[in-house]
Amino acid sequence: MTTPTDKPAPVGLLEAFLYWLKLGFVSFGGPAGQISMMHQELVERRRWISEHRFLHALNYTMVLPGPEAQQLATYIGWLMHGSLGGIIAGTLFVLPSLLILIVLTWIYLAFGDVPIVQAILYGIKPAVTAIVVHAAWRIGSRALKNGALWAIAAAAFVAIFALNVPFPYIVIGAAVIGWIGGRLSPARFQLGGGHGGSGKNSYGPALIDDDTPVADWMRFRWSRVVRFVAIGLLLWAGVLGLLFSLYGWDGTLTRMGVFFTQAALVTFGGAYAVLPYVYQGGVETYQWLTAPQMIDGLALGESTPGPLIMIVAFVGFVGGWTHGFLGPDALVMAGILGAVVATFFTFLPSFLFILVGAPAVEASRHELHFTAPLTGITAAVVGVILNLAVFFAYHVLWPEGFDGDFEWFSALLGIAAFIALFRFKMGIIPLIGACAAIGAGYQLLL
């Protein structure tokens, strides 16, 4: 195939808007699939951005808390059209998923007791358990390269499983261990970015190429940093203050605002890492939803486009509905407000990380590497995700507790789902669909 020699035509804001909108509706497959989709479309086919610039942005988002695929979209949108472009790209990456999850969660709560719905969920739950186990294996196989990192992962598992240590403390502890380990034994804590170098590509010149002059909005200025930080803090404090004035400090939405802000700042390692933290807060601390509902929410999150961390919208909707803070006749509105509040406070920091930090990253123009503290955090995340898998497996296999019956069919279906993921590389959506059909057929035939 002949390599193009001419740069693509300039891309207007409307054309970019339409692409980001389309991406928001088709971004299935988790962060790996979403990043791959953007690379194929923006680097290889459309040539809006060079491979080097794409990887430069990706390595930055990988060391940030929050959903890296959404932050990467925000970064590329910012590169192309400044702050407005970044806000449009990041928002459209999330908005379709939010709307779809609001509708699906309403259906789940309003009609979840219908036998056919229960039968479908019966089949989906073992698949979700297999997905989480596979995620722990996939991340662990990349992250745990020596005994020290295995020890950190094991310690994190014991801390959250047996000692009920809150997730943020595990993150802080792992970062400290990584920082110390990086100085005492640097070779054990040097894992790099994991994405390889940019290398030479055969896609042809890009609109934003390696040697493209720096646009005015890409230049680092302290005045710009101060302005965006001030705007972000005002937005955060303004919305939280409004919720406090309407519902008080103990109000459901106010607590959600504080909790999901904290969640947004500890999501190192991707969405699977923050799920245990959301579980601790949503199920145990605030009782916005039950443990089985959390599993169902993850199933819905895996089945919809957008970042998996959008499960926070499900948690917010169920919490608003369950607490009914607007009265028994407005449960749907309470749920919608809960979903919107959870999403707003989860993603606001992600926008700030990009709009504030991207100019400094562009000024550096060198490949970023994982720091030793982040290496420690990544190792701990494996243990935390394994704990999540144990939690899901317990509620799926013993839905009534250890005193109840063991779900042999769910166990067999979960094992089959894991084999399909591990051995046959089956996609998430086909897997969930197949397990839903098998589980529903089994339940309806009983």
Q: pLDDT per residue over 139-195, tens digit each?
A: 777 678 889 999 999 999 999 888 888 777 887 898 889 889 888 888 787 654 333
Q: Does some domain include residue 290? A: yes
Inform me whether the pLDDT recorded for 331 exceeds 90: yes
Q: Does some domain include residue 202? A: no
Domain around 436: 13-192+221-445
Of the ranges 172-181, 399-408, 409-418, which one carries the lowest mean pLDDT score? 399-408
Distance CA 441, CA 358 (A): 51
208 forms beta bridges with: 49
Q: Does some domain include residue 201? A: no
Amino acid 184: pLDDT: 86
Q: Does some domain include residue 7? A: no
Inform me whether the pLDDT recorded for 2 exceeds 70: no
- Hey, CA dihedral for 393, 309, 286, 99, is it positive or negative? negative
- What share of the chain has pLDDT > 90, as a percent? 37
Inform me whether the pLDDT recorded for 410 exceeds 80: yes
Amino acid 122: pLDDT: 85
Distance CA 10, CA 324 (A): 50
Distance CA 171, CA 215 (A): 37
Inform me whether the pLDDT recorded for 365 exceeds 60: no
Q: Does some domain include residue 149? A: yes
Inform me whether the pLDDT recorded for 370 exceeds 60: no
| pLDDT band per the 50, 70, 90 thresholds, residue 313 | very high
Q: State the total domains in the chain.
A: 1
Q: Does some domain include residue 41? A: yes
pLDDT in tens, 182-228: 888 887 876 543 333 444 456 788 888 888 877 888 888 899 999 99
> What residues contact residue 15 under an 8 Å CB cut-off, 6+ apart?
none
Query: In which residue are the tokens 């904290």 written?
Result: 262
Phi and psi angles of residue 49, each rounded to the nearest 5 degrees, phi first: -145, 145
Structure tokens at 384: 């935390």
Q: Does some domain include residue 203? A: no
Q: Does some domain include residue 4? A: no
